[in-house]
Amino acid sequence: MVQKFGGGTGFALSKLRPKGDRIKTTHGVSCGPIEVLKTLSRVSSMITQGGKRDGANMAVMDVHHPDILDFITCKSVEGEIHNFNISVGVTDDFMQAVKAGISYPLINPRSNEIVGELDAREVFNRMVYGAWRNGEPGMVFLDAINKDNKVMTKYGRMIATNPCGEQPLLGNESCNLGSINLANFFKSTDMSDSTEPALDWKTNVDWFRLDRTARLATRFLDNVIDANYYATPEIEDMTKATRKIGLGIMGFADLLIQLRIGYDTELGRFVGNYIMGFIRDIADNESMRLAKSRGVFPAWSSSDYAKSDRKLRNACRLTVAPTGTISMLADTSSGVEPTFALAWKKMNILEGETLYYVNKYFERDARGYDFYSEELMDYISNGGSIQSRDDVPQWAKEVYAVAGDITPEAHVLMQAAFQQYCDSGISKTINFSNDASIEDVYTAYILAWEEGCKGITVYRSGSREKEVLVKADTQQNDNLENMLQLDFLNFVEEPVEVAGGECCATPYHVEEGGCVTCKSCGWSKCHIA
């Protein structure tokens, strides 16, 4: 019903009993959550979302579930469970175990008993490898999510999200999202004023209009809750009990371009953090004004807000959705993402159509500052980076750095800058070039947890046969099939000393034919029978 009316769905698999668990009522055994997931995928494939596209879903499994290893690898073959994104729900205790290199418990959700243990670093490395291989699984940080769960006393922990991961939800809750196009709040339209970063950037943002827009958007989203048609009575009851809204943004990268501020700079992150804090304050204030005139959300009396007598109309106010398609319609950058490419195409949309896009600001500046050429435009249209071009000035390389030019650390730090003032999550994809290493993914996942993000998704260009957003020249990694044969990666912080020498400083290991081999340097050690 949800997908019939155009909605995506999030599924929490964590409460399903593991494969092989005894069923007392039938004297049989459980098929396990992976088989349930495959069934849900098949059913979803039969129902076009809103009559327009295949169903979109997110499946989340707690890392403590006994079937977690099967879940991590359930999408290792492209095409399987194709209409689900998958994410592992991890806790702070698990991440501490990863850092310490120790085991952690597996817990049967039916009995809540410990039924085994796994090496935390091994499990984490399997997640990292899967994400490097094809972008799956993502990761959601459950403890960070539930720090902002103000109704946990009444409804329990949040253990799942909406399909894009930006909106953690309780059972039967729904997301209600809207986005402000920040690019439209740049005061000047003259792109030729200066090539220097706008250190006085605050004077070039229309704060009055942004204030008014955020207030109207907050009221609009609250109105949607009452005007909406709900697929089931349960969804309506839960949605109206908490009245969560998700006001977010898009066009941030385009605003930075107009301010001549590089995305991958301290100033760029400061701007993002400041703007999100501003919108947070406005949305919170407007929700409090609504509470005075319309009443608090029904579950308020049992929420954490009641303890401080903070009266709000909405249990959550902010989130940042990816806005991939609507940002194209608005001709602006998506969500909090940097510009994906200066020329790119979006594939497999609107019944298989392909749309082409050229960054309007770059073309305008290239012509205005006399570094435009047909050869340059052809070069970037075929996936070339301006960072290697001598004919592109340095200021333009900084301002127009695209997703693939930006380090994984910078991607994560920008997400964290927005997360600080967002009571829900941030949907952001950490885009990697095709030649990114497994260690790059490892670093991004660790940093996202350390910086307080609520989730992380990475994607290495060309790691899937079918892609939604690609540079014009993106090719598949010729060695991908061989790389898929790797079973287990074991990152170590120090070289492994052995009689025959030592491994390199940044190894990844795989067990093959009774031998542990480093794919970085070729070092190997075989088991002795």
Q: What's the pLDDT tens digit per position in 251-265?
A: 999 999 999 999 999
* Residue 490 belongs to some domain of the structure: no
End position of a domain, from candidates 161, 181, 202: 161
- CA 412 to CA 401: how far, in whole Å? 16
Question: Helices 207-227 and 266-294 sit at what angle, rounded to 10 degrees?
Answer: 50
Catalogue the active-site residues. Answer: 162, 164, 166
pLDDT tens across 100-118, in order? 999 999 999 999 999 999 9
* Residue 91 belongs to some domain of the structure: yes
294: its two tokens = 């319309």
End position of a domain, from candidates 161, 181, 206: 161
pLDDT tens across 166-215, in order? 999 999 999 999 999 999 999 975 545 678 887 889 999 999 999 999 99
Q: Where are the beta strands (DSSP E) in 65-129?
A: 84-90, 103-108, 113-119
Q: Which domain holds residue 430?
A: 327-480
The stretch 400-425 carries a mean pLDDT of 94
pLDDT over 90, % of the chain: 65
What was the pLDDT predicted at 300?
A: 98
Q: Which of 109-113, 230-234, 438-442, 483-487 has the lowest mean pLDDT?
A: 483-487
Distances from the Cα of 207 to the Cα of 79, 163, 211, angstroms: 46, 32, 6
What was the pLDDT predicted at 81?
A: 86
What was the pLDDT predicted at 458?
A: 93
- CA 144 to CA 442: how far, in whole Å? 19
What was the pLDDT predicted at 510?
A: 55
What was the pLDDT predicted at 235?
A: 95
Higher pLDDT, 497 or 219: 219
Number of domains the chain contains? 4
Q: How confident is the model at residue 527 (pLDDT cuts 50, 70, 90)?
A: very low
- CA 473 to CA 345: how far, in whole Å? 10
What was the pLDDT predicted at 500?
A: 44
pTM of the model: 0.84
* Residue 489 belongs to some domain of the structure: no
End position of a domain, from candidates 161, 189, 221: 161
pLDDT tens across 448-480, in order? 999 999 999 999 888 876 555 555 444 433 333
- CA 341 to CA 353: how far, in whole Å? 19
Q: Please indicate, yes or no, whether residues 340 and 448 belong to a single structural domain of this protein.
A: yes
Q: Please indicate, yes or no, whether residues 189 and 246 belong to a single structural domain of this protein.
A: yes
* Residue 303 belongs to some domain of the structure: yes
Q: Please indicate, yes or no, whether residues 128 and 27 belong to a single structural domain of this protein.
A: yes
* Residue 492 belongs to some domain of the structure: no
Q: How confident is the model at residue 345 (pLDDT cuts 50, 70, 90)?
A: low
pLDDT tens across 57-71, in order? 999 999 999 999 999
Q: Which of 224-238, 434-448, 496-510 has the lowest mean pLDDT?
A: 496-510
CB atoms within 10 A of CB 283: 24
* Residue 104 belongs to some domain of the structure: yes
Q: Please indicate, yes or no, whether residues 178 and 316 belong to a single structural domain of this protein.
A: yes
Q: Please indicate, yes or no, whether residues 467 and 510 belong to a single structural domain of this protein.
A: no
Q: Please indicate, yes or no, whether residues 331 and 474 belong to a single structural domain of this protein.
A: yes
Q: Please indicate, yes or no, whether residues 334 and 312 belong to a single structural domain of this protein.
A: no
What was the pLDDT predicted at 273?
A: 97
pLDDT tens across 125-134, in order? 999 999 999 9
